[in-house]
Every structure is written in C-alpha cells, then in structure tokens.
Amino acid sequence: MTGTSTLRIAWRNLGRNRKRSVLALAAIALGQFIFLAVAALMHGYMDEFHGSITGPMIGHAQVHAPVWLDDRSIDITIDNVTSALDAVRADPSVEHVSARIYAPVLTALTEEGFMSFVVGVDPASESHDDGLLPGLDAASLMGEGRVLAGSGFARRYDIEPGAELALVGQDVDGSIASGLFTVTQVISSPVDIVNNLGIVMTLDDAGELLAMYDQAHEMVIHTRDLDTVGETVARLSAVPALVDLEVLTWREIVPEMVGMFEMVDVMLLVVLGIVFVAAAAGIANTMLMATFERKHEFGMLLSLGCGPSRLARMITVEAVILGLVGVVIGTALGLGLLLITQQTGLDYAALGGASDSYEASYKGLHLSSLVYPRLYASDVLAGMIAVFLTALLSVVWPIMRIARMEPMEAMRL
Amino acid sequence: MQDVLVGASAVTKDFHVGKITVNALRGLDLDIHKGDFLAIVGPSGSGKTTLLNLIGALDTATGGKVEVFGQDLSGMSRRERAELRLRSLGFVFQAYNLVPVLTALENVEFVLELRGEDGGRRATAMSVLEDLGLGELADRRPNEMSGGQQQRVAVARAVAAKPRLVLADEPTANLDSENGESLLKMMRQLRDEHDMTFVFSTHDPLVVAYASRVVTIRDGKIVSDIRKNSGEEAPGEGVEVRRKGTEPPGDGTEVN
Ligand SMILES: Nc1ncnc2c1ncn2[C@@H]1O[C@H](COP(=O)(O)OP(=O)(O)O)[C@@H](O)[C@H]1O
Ligand SMILES: [Mg+2]
C-alpha cells in the first residue's frame, strides 16, 4: 500500500472526524449484532420446534386411514398393520417407521379419577433419536402391564414409579375396555399429549386393552432425507398395501406450522431491514457530511485535473470500509453472544424478567423457555451484504454532487 | 521573439446572477510569453480570478478567444480541459491547496499519481521537496505546517510535474511579508532555473515588486501592462510603463 493509495486515504479520512465515524460504526455494529442475536434466537427456537415436529411428534410423513385426521375417533384404524409396516419399510428412502395407537381413557388412582390418554407404541422402533422414546431402554420398562407416564401428567397427579393405574375406556367395537397397569418410569417428551396426558404402553398392551388386533391409528415415518419427503410420499401412496390409506407429509399434516416457519423468515427479513436502515443512517450521514465538509478539497483536486471518478472512488471506498468494519464488529459481538449462550442456553423467562423458567405448549408441542441460540453463515452473510449495499447506496447522492461540481465554484471562499 | 504560451483576444466573460448579468471581463487582450513572471493586479472584483480561471481552463469565455499552448480552449470538453490542467498546468491557490490527510510528500506524490506517472513517484516527489529546501517538511501533514510552509509545499506540488505554466491566484494573500517573500523567491528561482512561466493574480505590492511584468486590470479591461527590464526585477528598478493602446499592434517583444 503506497502513501497515496485510495484505501489509505479513505482510512485517514475516516479518522478525520473520529467521533462521527465511531458513531456510524456503532450504529452499523449494533444493527448487525441485533440482527444476528434475533436470528440466532429465532433459529434456536424454530430449529428445535422443527426438530420436535419432524422428530417425535409428526415425523417426516404419516400414514392413516383417510378420515383419521378429521375425527381421531378410535375406530378409524389402519388394518393389517404388520404388512403395511413391511410395505413402508421396503421403500429405500425410509429410515424408520413405527405404528401408534391413541385412545382417551379414564384413569383411576386410589379414589381419584381423571382424563388421560393411552399412547400405544412399539418401544423398539421408537427408541431412535427422532422417536417418541429416544435413548430409552423402553423394552425393559414396558409390556405386560408396565407403562410409562408423562412428566406433566405424573406431576399433576402425584404419580410415581410403582403407582398402579386402573384404566377404563371404550374399545374399538364400542364395548367397555379396562385394565390395570403399573407405572415403571416417568418420561419427559416434547410431544404435549404424551407429556401432559400420556400413558405410554406397548402396542400389544394397547391392542389388548382396546381390542385392536393388528391395527393401529397411525404410522410415523422418518425418511433418510427430509428434503425429498414429497417424492417418498408419492411413491408410498402408490404401494398396493397402502392404497386405501392416506400418506401425507408433515407439511400437509400441520400446515399452520409451515406457515409459522415462513412467518419467522419474514420477521427476520424485517429485522434485516432495520439493520439496513441503521447502517444507511450511519453511513449516509457520514458520507453526506464528509462531502459537504470537503467541498473545497474536492474543488481543489478537480481544479488540478483530478477526475470526478477518482473522487467518487475515494468516498465509495470510505463508505465501504465504514460499513464493513462496522459489520465485522457487529458479527464479532454476535458470535461472542452465541459462544457464551450456546452451551448453557438462554432462558427467555429470565430475559423477560421472570425468576423461573417456564414450560408451555403450543399446538401439540411442549415448549421450554430455554433456547439454544443457533446462527447460520447465511445470516452473517445476509447482514454483510445488506450493509455493503447500503454503503454503495449511500454514496450515490454524494457522487452525483461531485460529478456536477464546478471546480472553481467549489473552490470559492 | 518569444514563445507565446497564452493568447487571449477580445475575451469577455459574463456571469448571470439571477436576472443580473455581471460583465466580469469586457474585451480583454493579453499575450503571456514563455518566461514571464507576470502579476495581474487590480482592485477586488476587477476580474483577476476570472481571467486566471479562463487561462487555467477552469472556465470558458463568453466571447473572444483564449488559446493555451496554441490550443483554443473554447472547443474543449470538460474532460479535455481537466486533462490539459493535469498535464500542462500547475496551480497554486490562495487556500485549501493541500489534501489534509496527506503529508507534504504524499501531496506531491498524489499529483504525480494523478498524471499516471508510475515508478519512482515517491523519489521524484522527495527530490522536488529537497530541491526547494522543503525536505524536512516531507512527513508533515498540512495541519502540522505554517501557512507559509503549506504554500511552499503547494508550489512544490504545482511544479513537481514540470508544467510549462504555473498559475497562482493570490498566493501570498494569507502570508506575512517574510513568508510571502520566500515564496516569491522560490518561484522566481524555478522560473530562472527551469524555464517555467508564472502568472499571479494579486493585491500584494511584494508580488508586484518581484514580477517581471505587471498587468493592471480594472472593470474587466487591461488598463496598463508594465514590463520591467529583464534581469532587473528588484523592486522599483528599470521599470518601463506602457499604457494600454499606446503599444504597437502585435507587440510581444521585450522592451529593454
Ligand atoms: N461565479 C460567479 N458568479 C457570479 N459572479 C461572479 C462569479 N465569479 C466572479 N463573479 C463576479 O465577477 C467580477 C470579477 O470577479 P473576480 O474575477 O473574482 O475578481 P477579482 O479576482 O479581481 O477580485 C466580480 O464582480 C464578481 O462578483
Ligand atoms: Mg480573486
């Protein structure tokens, strides 16, 4: 870099009014930081959300009897489940498939009676990471009258391992169903219904209780690649063993969630717009002031025969340096926040001033106020590009002024 | 005979300010010769700066003709005029001569770079400063120099690329007489040693004293053109006065 290089001149010019440059830098850095913080929180939240939905709750795709989703009545069943499962499993892109049974029952514990929900599952095929019982040696805890209880449910009714539950309900034929079960473990699940009402038992126990033999209400599918789930579903729909059934992607099952993810993207775009405005205010103000202040200097250089394009380049480089330094500082701050909060998570409740973390549920999802921020390279890049474009935009007017400048006019004292 | 660097004939320049027209120059004839150390004097508002701007290709005449190095300026585009200024003219202004963020050396270097000279620019710039006795100012920024030092650096910058003609608009206006004198000595030395031609607009008697030729304008017209005997440019010596209109037509010769 020689003494008169454009870069060096630009840098020194930014140092001329240090206070103003620092202020502009601060505005840009803060903008980028806020954008990254919001993006990281949103993604942390939404990715977990997304993971829960496409994990244990809905899976990537599901198979049911055609009207099950509208009605969820116990008698709307998938028959010949074993062969249906085999048919699904035969598809090369299917990684896991498991059948589930759902039935509302009345539970009696000593003298009390309350509403609960039987969830019948195959422990072996629900123990994978995205299953309903991840990492649990469920097979040894379930079967032959032994069941698991959701943590919210257990807390509410003081149910502890060893508790005996008497269940009464209606079986698939409309007759009275009843049975006695022992709780072996209390489990926490991101699926709201399991957590707050759930009595999780084996498919065999549930089938016996409800008189459902080789039947289930739903088959949950996890594919090897979520992006191509549409093609997998199309393929499965054509399989003979499944023709009378409905095969749907998670998007089709919970369209309102899909809408939510889209809304978050729009929100991030809005935040990005605010960053843009902050940067624009910082850079444009600086460049405008600088152009006014340096009128004589520019006039002198033009008088000497310096081309307006050279001056334009000078202030463009200045604006870009200002923007990029600001955005780099903002990014560093954002990454710092990420580093600090990534391990421990960030408690929304604490942010909002509440002393206790809370748990809540939304549309069947069980949510915690603890969020693990997550940042994508694309967010950082989006911020940088926004600032870079702002820098370019904010010199348009100054450049137009310079182009129209009459050297001796600008020089006049 | 001497080379004519600048030929101005019947030059007029009007400025329009709202509905008012200011006739800044009203039919002005002037030839500037190689080696002139010419002071244009006259009361404030008489048109000195306007004339200098026309000669310096910073502005175009309303009427008449201005030729610089044989080129008619009226037919030139903005860009061509900028190119002419950059290549063949040196400028020293009353103020705001230097780029504030550059050192003296870098200021000189910058014009060399603008001219597209490559290789050894820094060394060239340094030797220009040193030749003019400004070596110790090389690393100072304008705000670390006195007004006189700044003007001397401005002269160094103006002459660094060896222009044939240097134009200076009131170069000593902001200087005390001591600094003014050292600036003038520096420029006269450049004229003598490097065959450069200098044109000043000025109020300053000191500049008049150092000038080899003094042109007085009033109300946009030349009222006198005084040529001192060459070699005798000390104040008040060997002065010959010719009133405008008494000189023979086409006069361009030295009178001595
Ligand atoms: N750009 C301009 N617009 C309007 N009037 C101008 C302009 N430049 C000069 N003038 C007028 O032209 C006349 C000559 O000005 P100038 O050449 O600056 O005089 P001097 O340099 O001798 O003081 C003055 O009346 C001045 O007001
Ligand atoms: Mg003037």
Question: Which of A304, A409, A411 is the mutation pick for testing B, counting most B CBs within 10 A?
Answer: A304
**B101/A310 CB distance under 8 A:** no
Candidates B55, B58, B109, B153, partner chain A, best to mutate (most A CBs within 10 A): B58
Return the H-helix or E-strand segment holding B168.
Answer: strand B165-169
Distance from CA of B202 to the nearest CA of A (A): 16
Look at residue A333 in the predicted model and tell me its pLDDT.
Answer: 95
Chain B residues in contact with A315 (beta carbon < 8 A): none
Residues A236 and A268 in one domain: no
pTM over 0.80: no
What confidence tens digit (pLDDT) does each residue in A90-131 have? 999 999 999 999 999 999 887 778 899 999 999 988 988 888
Q: How many domains does chain B have?
A: 1
Nearest Cα neighbor of A148 from A130, A129, A166, A163 is: A163
* In the predicted structure, residue B242 carries a pLDDT above the cut 50: no
Query: How many cross-chain Cβ pairs, A to B, lie less than 8 Å apart?
Result: 68
Among all residues of chain B, which has the CA nearest to that of A16? B101
Model ipTM value:
0.87
Residue B216 sits in a domain whose CATH number is: 3.40.50.300
CB contact under 8 A, B86 and A13: no
pLDDT at residue B175 is higher than 70: yes
Q: How many structural domains comprise chain A?
A: 2
In this structure, the answer to whether residues A177 and A98 fall within a common structural domain is yes
Asked whether residue A89 falls in the same domain as residue A224, the answer is yes
Nearest beta carbon to residue A303 from set B58, B95, B99: B58
Share of chain A above pLDDT 90, in %: 51
Does one domain contain both A273 and A124? no
Residues A337, A388, single domain; the answer is yes
Torsion angle of alpha carbons A12, A15, A17, A21, nearest 10°?
A: 120
Contact B86 A12 (CB under 8 A): no
pLDDT tens column, A304-320: 999 999 999 999 999 99
Q: Same structural domain for residues A272 and A386? A: yes
Of A253, A279, A310, the position where a domain reaches its end is A253
On chain A, the residues whose CB falls within 8 A of the CB of B106 are 3-4
Same domain, A286 and A227: no
Residues A7 and A24 in one domain: yes
To the nearest whole Å, the CA of B250 is away from the closest chain A CA by: 31
Cα–Cα distance measured from residue B39 to residue B214, given in angstroms and rounded to the nearest whole number: 5
β-pair type (B213-218, B221-228) = antiparallel
Within this chain, do residues A245 and A262 fall inside the same structural domain, yes or no?
A: no
Which residue's CA is the nearest one to ligand 1's atom 14?
B47
Contact residues on chain A for B110, CB-CB shorter than 8 A: 4
Instruction: Note whether A2 contacts B122, CB cutoff 8 Å.
Output: yes
Structural domain boundaries, residue B59:
4-255
Do A389 and A275 belong to one domain? Answer: yes
- pLDDT tens per residue across all 413 residues of chain A: 456 688 889 999 999 889 999 999 998 999 999 999 989 988 888 888 888 888 888 999 999 999 888 888 888 999 999 999 999 999 999 999 999 999 999 998 877 788 999 999 999 889 888 888 887 787 788 989 999 999 988 998 899 999 999 999 998 888 999 999 999 999 988 888 888 888 999 999 999 999 999 999 999 999 999 999 999 999 999 999 888 999 999 999 988 888 888 888 898 899 888 877 877 888 888 888 888 899 999 999 999 999 999 999 999 999 999 999 999 999 999 999 888 887 777 776 666 665 555 566 666 666 666 788 888 999 999 999 999 999 999 999 999 999 998 888 887 76
**Residue A28 lies in domain:** 2-53+257-412
- What pLDDT was estimated at residue A191? 83
Give the per-residue SS3 of A287-317. HHHHHHHCHHHHHHHHHHCCCHHHHHHHHHH
CB contact under 8 A, A4 and B102: yes
| Domain shared by A70 and A46, yes or no | no
Residues 6+ apart with CB under 8 A from B94: A413, B169, B170, B171, B173, B174
Please report which confidence band the pLDDT of residue B254 belongs to, taking 50, 70 and 90 as the band edges: very low
How many Å apart are CA A18 and CA B180, to the nearest integer? 35
Mean pLDDT value across chain B: 87
Specify whether A85 is located in the same domain as A234: yes
Selected residue of A4, A6, A7 to mutate for chain B interface (largest B Cβ count, 10 A): A4
Cα gap A54→A46, rounded to integer Å: 12
